[in-house]
Each structure stands twice: as C-alpha cells, then as structure tokens.
Chains A and B, each alone.
Chain A
Amino acid sequence: MMSQDATGPAIQETSEELQRTVTRMFGRSLHIRTLDTGSCASCEQEIRLLAAPHYDLHRLGFFFTPAPRHADLLMVTGPMVQVFETAARKTYDAIPDPKIVVATGACALGGVYQPDPFTRGGIGSSFPVDVWIPGCPPSPLALLQGLLVAVGRLADKVKDLDFALNGTPT
C-alpha cells in the first residue's frame, strides 16, 4: 500500500521525468502498428504513403511493424465498430508498456459517426489516447507532424489557433 507522501510531488516529478525519457528514446526509434477499426481505408492509404519515397518516414526513425508485440505506437483509424472492440483491446494489451496511442482521422476523433448499436462513434471511449490527428483523411504531412508531436519532437500548435478570421476570407 502506498503511503501518503509517496503520492505527492516527488512521484509526480518522477513520472514526468520518466515520460520525458520515454519520449526521448521513442524519438529516435519508434515502431508503429496500425489498427483499422472500421474506417473507409482513406486513412490507410495516407498512412501507406508515409513509407513512400516522397515522405520517407524511415528517415525520421519511424518504422511500421505488423506485430503488436514489436510496436511502441498504436495508430488507430475508424470509428471503432463494436464487433471489433475485443480485437482492438487485445491489440492494445499486446503492445508492451510504455505505449502511445494515436487517433487518426475524423472518424476516430468522433466526428463522422454517432455512437449507435454498431459503432462507438470514435475511439476515445476504448483507449486512453495520447495524440489526436484531425483530417478526413489526414494528409501524410499531417500524420508526420502528429507522430513527431507524439514523441515530443514538435509542439502541437493547434491549441494556439482560434479559427476566427478578421477580414474577408480568401
């Protein structure tokens, strides 16, 4: 049982330090497992393009792996159809800790489908998600930026945007 002072700022500091160490190590070598939870496959097309010479994500130290047990990052697309949730959970559990979950595309972020008897309407209720990448589909450039945000090599800039415009729209 944890004593009272063990949950204090010292633990907090240690966990943040651990988090920084993990993202620093992932920043040099990261293996990605993609998981399609019922997407239309547009996101998969864009993810596949990441490995093409135009985008060449290997130069950034990122690699795709087919095995969850070899993966560090789970890239989830689709609105999480309910029949797939058990398999998705197993994939998540099979990835060794520490792991990163990236929600990819508007469906996974809860935009396109409502929760109904067939889908969860987004993956947020199934996994703890670390990075959200909007887009329908997100372009490979957006995916690259999302992956670099996930490993702490770029800062997320969307929180400073207000999407309000003064003047005539172009």
Chain B
Amino acid sequence: MPLWTLRGLRRGIVTTRYPARPDPSAALLPTPPVFRPDVLTPGLADRLVAVCPSRALARDGDLLVFDVGACTACGRCRAEAPHAAGDSGEFELAATVREHLVKQIPLGGRSA
C-alpha cells in the first residue's frame, strides 16, 4: 500500500481502470461448462445431473437447469458427454441477483 499511495500521489492517479488489458493467464482457468441444446436429450440430461457432484444441474421437464453459482467447474459433465458439453471460457461471473446465475437450457435433442 505505501508504494502505491506515494506513486498515486505523485502522478495524481487515485485508482486505475480494470482490466487495462486482457490477462494472458485467464485462458488457463477452469470455467463452467456450456451445453449444446440440440444434442441434449432428457436421458442424457439425467446422466449429467447424476454425475454432477455439487448439485449444479437439475432437470425440470424439457429444461436442463444449470446453476452457475453452484458449479465447481470440475469437468465431470464434459467427461461424461464431450459432444454435448464444452468449456465456456467465462470466469468473470459475479452477479448482483442470485437468480441471474440460474440458467435454463432447453433439451432439443431427439431421444434415441
């Protein structure tokens, strides 16, 4: 803190903007999954719900309910169904309303 305070006083800059540039290490972070609605079937959704260790996934009729706030980015759903779940690459996920973190993904795939 002291160094920054002195530097800030000298330059007349109180705080800096963020992010000044994209962080190169951000690509390495584990991130929550994204799902493909066109290949998700109710059966596959149930399998994904079963492998999720942190109760981030639930099935509600024709919807896969994905709670991003509960997701630990463990990657088990991606391992279970690599064709239906991928990496979102999103890590700046702060929300001011808890419900904004709950996503509903339609199950558009045909049952085999």
Contacts and interface: CB of A to CB of B under 8 A. Distances in A.
Contacts of A27: 15
Interface residues of B, number: 52
A145 B98 CA distance: 16
A165 B100 contact: no
Given A163-B35, A170-B86, A132 B92 contact: no
B42 interface: no
* Residue among B18, B33, B34, B84 having the largest count of chain A Cβ atoms under 10 Å: B18
A164 B97 contact: no
Contacts of A146: 94
Interface string A132-170: 111110110110111011100110111101111111111
A109 B93 CA distance: 12
* Residue among B54, B66, B85 having the largest count of chain A Cβ atoms under 10 Å: B54
Interface string B6-38: 000000001110110001011001001111111
A124 interface: yes
B97 A141 contact: no
B100 A158 contact: yes
Contact of A157 (B35, B66, B70, B92): B92
Contacts of B74: 136
A144 B15 CA distance: 13
A112 B33 CA distance: 17
Interface stretch (A1-9, A55-63, A87-95): A55-63
Nearest to B53: A112
B90 interface: yes
B68 A134 contact: yes
Contacts of A162: 103, 105
B105 A159 contact: no
Contact of A60 (B18, B87, B95): B18
Contact of B98 (A60, A132, A135, A166): A132
B2 to A, nearest CB: 10
Contacts of B98: 109, 124, 129, 132
Contact of A106 (B54, B84, B88): B54
B101 A109 contact: yes
A149 to B, nearest CB: 4
A28 interface: yes
A141 B4 contact: no
A60 B94 contact: no
B88 to A, nearest CB: 6
Given A56-B4, A111-B56, A149 B69 contact: no
Interface in B92-112: 92-98, 100-101, 103, 105-106
State the 5 A-B residue pairs at the shortest beta-carbon distance, nearest first.
A169-B86, A111-B70, A136-B72, A146-B94, A109-B69
